[in-house]
Amino acid sequence: MSGDKLAFDARVAQAQGSGVASYSRSLIEHLHLLPERFKLAFLVEDSRPWDQIAFPGTAELLRTKVGRSDWLRRDVWEQFVLPRCLERSGVALYHGLDYGAPIRAGRFLRVVTFYDALAFSPIDDRHPVVKARIRFLIRQVARSVDAIVTISDYSRQELLRHLDVAPERIVTVWCGISETFFGRCRPDEADSVIRKLRFDDPFILYYGGFGKRKNVEALVRAFARVRKVEDCRLVLAGPGDGAFAGLGALIRALGLEQVVTRFGFASEEELRALLALCRLFVFPSLYEGFGLPIAEAMACGAPVLSSRAGALAEIAGEGALLVDAKEPATLAEAMLSALGDAVLLESLRVRGRERAQQFRWRHGVERLGKLYCSLVDGRRAGCPG
């Protein structure tokens, strides 16, 4: 029963700035919690660093020159070359952590993670060719793999609406969050962030992406209303210069250049400090398969005001104040209501920390371990996965 090898595609974890990359790095760091019967191997891209990934100590690295940016080469390699590599390495089960997996059956089991069904949603504003490729890939992979992992019950239901698969083949495993966010912000971390901000005034915080579905434009418009009542600033953290360009123009048009600060990419420690320092964390997204930032914010004890769209209400539970964030006026009213109620803010801090305990990695890895054991033992016994 011992020695079954599990392989994971760690190439997505080598990237920077995306929620999927952060999730994958954090998951890999905690895979040592899997049953001892499993040996672990990770697929990495040769030309990109992987020293930021905390691989389990005895892990094997399967190196490739094929990255993720060249879609055509990546897709061909994943279907025709990768299966032979995995079979030569004696892999019992392969888990693709970002939508992709070999479609043809082989001597190893296949699990894939689908984070959401965004590609099937009208809110997805990516290029039509990009969406068409992702939809095709999802449908083909979904028909063939042994199990699909998704990160919320909302995403599971959305996937079942669009895919012709049996419900029992899609398993919900909530994201875990880095232990960094459960720790307390150190004084030197706070001082460092304040120096980078160049102010120590009260501020509202958002971090994440700046694509259209993130709805940050509504937040900026809402903040313009809030500023008329509350003397505070807005800090926007996150990568993505291209996606931020239009937002910068809006900030200038509203005359907010002096009170809206772009922090840029923030490390986990910097995020922890920002969350510890902010008066309110606001997440206005219109579609999320999970909503990692609100889970991290709750773990840090920041008061959270969130959109209720997508999976956000499921993840927030009673730990955040939920609002329909489509209209700036409605969002501004909720922000002012929270900022003006010290009792509510303290209640959100307490309830948020309690809710965040649900997102410790031991829960998610335990569920994944049960899935892997079931699949491997089922194949050994001659049962379908």
pLDDT digits (tens, 9 = 90+) for 202-245: 999 999 999 899 999 999 999 999 999 999 999 999 986 667 77
* Same domain, residue pair 128 and 238: no
Residue 229: CATH number of its domain? 3.40.50.2000
- The CA-based diameter of the chain, rounded to the nearest angstrom, is 68
What is the span of the domain harbouring residue 119?
4-176+360-378
SS3 79: helix
Residue 236 lies in a domain: yes
Q: Judge if 124 and 193 occupy the same domain.
A: no
Judged against a pLDDT cut of 60, whether residue 126 lies above it is answered with yes
pLDDT above 50 for 1? no
The total domain count for the chain is 2
134 shares its domain with 153:
yes
Considering the chain, what percentage of its residues have pLDDT values greater than 70?
Answer: 97
- How much is the pLDDT for 269? 96
- Express as a percent the part of the chain with pLDDT over 90: 85
What integer is the mean pLDDT of 87-116? 94
Q: What's the rounded mean pLDDT across residues 251-272?
A: 95
What's the pLDDT tens digit per position in 17-68?
Answer: 677 888 999 999 999 999 999 999 999 999 999 998 999 999 999 999 998 8
SS3 label, residue 241:
helix
Residue 313 has pLDDT above 60, yes or no: yes
Does residue 385 lie within any of the structural domains? no
Count other Cβ atoms within 10 Å, centred on residue 165: 16
List CB contacts of 112: < 8 A, sequence separation 6 or more: 95, 96, 99, 100, 101, 141, 142, 145, 147, 148, 149
Q: Which amino acid is at 115?
A: Y
d(CA 168, CA 166): 6
Q: Residue 145 and residue 99: Cα distance in Å, rounded? A: 11
Helix, strand, or coil here: 323? Answer: strand
Same domain, 40 and 134: yes
Phi, then psi, of 9 in degrees rounded to 5: -80, 105
- Give the Cα separation of 273 and 117 in Å (integer): 33
Evaluate whether residue 384 is within a structural domain. Answer: no
Looking at the structure, do residues 324 and 222 belong to the same domain, yes or no?
Answer: yes
pLDDT in tens, 267-309: 999 999 999 999 999 999 999 999 999 999 999 999 999 999 9
| pTM tops 0.85 | yes
Q: Do 336 and 229 contact (CB within 8 A), yes or no?
A: yes
Please indicate, yes or no, whether residues 183 and 331 belong to a single structural domain of this protein: yes
Average pLDDT over residues 131-159: 96
